Chains A and B, each alone.
Chain A
Amino acid sequence: MTGGGPLLVVDGVSVRFGALIAVNRVSVSIGQREIVAIIGPNGAGKTTLLNAVSGFYHPFEGRIAFEGRDRTHLSPPDVAALGIARTFQNVALFKGMSVLDNIMTGRLLKMGGSFLTEALYWGPARRQELEHRAFVERIIDFLEIQAIRKTPAGRLPYGLQKRVELARALAAEPKLLLLDEPMAGMNVEEKEDMCRFILDVNQEFGTTIALIEHDMGVVMDISDRVVVLDYGRKIADGPPSEVRRDQAVLDAYLGVAHE
């Protein structure tokens, strides 16, 4: 790999929708095994930035590099193949499929084999399916969702859907995990669980994590570093304790007194 270099480098990236510049020359670098929180008021461009990294939007200037290689213009499936997994703000699960099948889809990129043996479910294909199933069961244990394994994902309460979405992302064994508001709409208990899972993933699998979150308590507790966006620009970047005291951040969140 790249040794000690940062895992992801976003360099002067801008994303534009017509006349609106949603992300304006933002540079962020994320190191191996870091947990980085991206915060900012509504409409600050957080999700847009995440979408640019995961290939759903392409920046009109700047570049994005992953493990030292340029990947600015890749499509979402190619980005996924590099080892970047994500979750969505509004939960994008396969609602008609069971939880188990949902998580299995996360393994797609890890599977191989020919069309024919798969169609007939023969030898290697069957063995492969079982191996992946075993891995997925470990994730299910890890996220404590054994009981809902066979439930169609669309029937679950919101908090659990978020957890299943995280499980699907983890099933891909990503190097970088992008979480878009993983705790939105959760109660305190669910939030605590989710925090624990994020920290455990980071420690046990060594996964680098970038997350967007609004709950400041959560952000300050779990992140190594906080990046603050406002109106598409980066206004602060540093450890939580520093960012919390940053005047520009306070102004963005609390408003500035204009004379």
Chain B
Amino acid sequence: MLDVLYAVLVAPFKDMVGAPAFLVEVLIGGLFAGLMYSLVALGFVLIFKASGVFNFAQGVMVLFAALTLVGLLERGAPVVVALALTTAVMVALAFAIERLVLRPLVNQAHIILFMATIGLNFFLEGFGEMLWGANVKKLDIGIPDRSFIVRGVQINQLELTAAITAAILVTVLALFFQRTRIGRALRAVADDHEAALSIGVPLKTIWIVVWSVAGVVAMVAGLMWGAKSGVQFSLSLIALKALPVLILGGFESVPGAIVGGLIIGVGEKLGEVYWGPLVGGAIENWFAYVLALAFLLARPQGLFGEKIIERV
């Protein structure tokens, strides 16, 4: 009995203190994974905020963007050109979604729009594979997957670049939402469609803007994940990891998506490395979901979500 308690409650922390450089490496790895989750979660939050729609297709949008990018690179396009073209494709996709999916369903219940995004999910998955093929592809954007050592801590150059890019993207988006005219219009639409229309917010423009931004965020996420582990169908499954992030952070909160992602990334890495051996590993696979479950019980609105208080 005491042995078990010691192994669970004391030994892991002793290991952490015993090898601080290794601990820092684990933390960095966790933060990196967390940032990637955050990026995917961010795509969900953007669309949810502006239209109340849970976009089931966000994960596939990541895959689709990555496939497009790889496809263009394989055909010899320079990195910058390929990035620009992919951005254009994602914006065009936003236009198409607004015109073909959202506009005909305006004023329908949220569940109907949610179903529509499930359809979109299957369509994009098939369309992406039809265009670019279903093989696992290597995504090389010219940042070497090499590491350097600072004070005994190994830092991967690719992960560092990804982290910085993600941090910049997130800061810009947060400022954009809080401070600008379009950001305010987005929040207005999220809050009350009718009132937003009456103050002159054109719904369709707003939808195109959010879906475009969500598309670009998906592209960045696809780029980072793809560079790390190749572009393949399983890329769309990281959307599943974004769900616990959303439950943790709150569906409507940009900072929530970031913090939630980081907590889950760090938590599952620490769990895997220090507690994994006790249970035979694989903590990384379920940690996020168990944490989300705990949150659903204790704080269903998430860390940063808006608590719903209704007058009776």
Contact = CB atoms under 8 A, between A and B. Distances in A.
Asked if A pairs with B, the answer is yes
Interface of A: 54-56, 75-77, 80-81, 85-86, 88, 92-97, 101, 104-106, 108-109, 111, 113, 115, 118-121, 125, 129, 168, 172
B192 A94 contact: yes
B184 A105 contact: yes
Contacts of A101: 184, 187
Contacts of A93: 192, 195
Interface stretch (B6-14, B156-164, B198-206): B198-206
B175 to A, nearest CB: 6
A176 to B, nearest CB: 13
Contact of B198 (A54, A118, A119): A54
B137 to A, nearest CB: 32
Contacts of A94: 187-188, 191-192, 195-196
B185 A105 contact: yes
24 contacts: A56-B194, A56-B198, A75-B202, A77-B197, A77-B200, A77-B203, A80-B198, A85-B199, A88-B194, A93-B192, A93-B195, A94-B191, A94-B195, A96-B191, A105-B196, A105-B199, A106-B199, A108-B181, A111-B181, A120-B172, A121-B180, A129-B179, A168-B199, A172-B199
B306 interface: yes
Contacts, number: 88
Contacts of B203: 77
A69 B198 CA distance: 20
B118 to A, nearest CB: 27
A120 B179 CA distance: 9
Contacts of A97: 187-188, 191
Given A96-B306, A97-B191, A118-B180, A76 B185 contact: no
B181 A118 contact: yes
A147 B244 CA distance: 39
A121 B179 contact: yes
A244 B175 CA distance: 55
A143 B200 CA distance: 22
**Closest 10 A-B residue pairs measured CB to CB?**
A80-B200, A92-B195, A94-B191, A76-B197, A118-B180, A109-B200, A77-B202, A111-B181, A119-B176, A77-B200
Q: Which of the listed residues B191, B197, B200, B201 has the most CB atoms from chain A within 10 Å of its own CB? A: B200
A26 to B, nearest CB: 21
B184 A76 contact: no
A89 B203 CA distance: 22
B89 to A, nearest CB: 19
A215 to B, nearest CB: 24
A121 B183 CA distance: 12
Contacts of A120: 172, 175
Nearest to A117: B180
Contacts of B182: 115, 118
Contacts of A86: 198
A121 B184 contact: no
Contacts of B199: 80, 85, 105-106, 108-109, 168, 172
B15 to A, nearest CB: 44
B184 A108 contact: yes
Contacts of A111: 181
B184 A104 contact: yes
A119 B192 contact: no
Given A54-B198, A76-B200, A113-B181, 14 more contacts: A56-B197, A76-B198, A77-B200, A77-B203, A88-B194, A94-B191, A95-B191, A101-B187, A108-B181, A108-B185, A108-B188, A109-B199, A119-B175, A121-B179
Contacts of B181: 108, 111, 113, 118
Interface in B293-312: 306
B192 A81 contact: no
Contacts of A108: 181, 184-185, 188, 199-201
A56 B198 CA distance: 9
A86 B199 CA distance: 8
Contacts of B175: 119-121
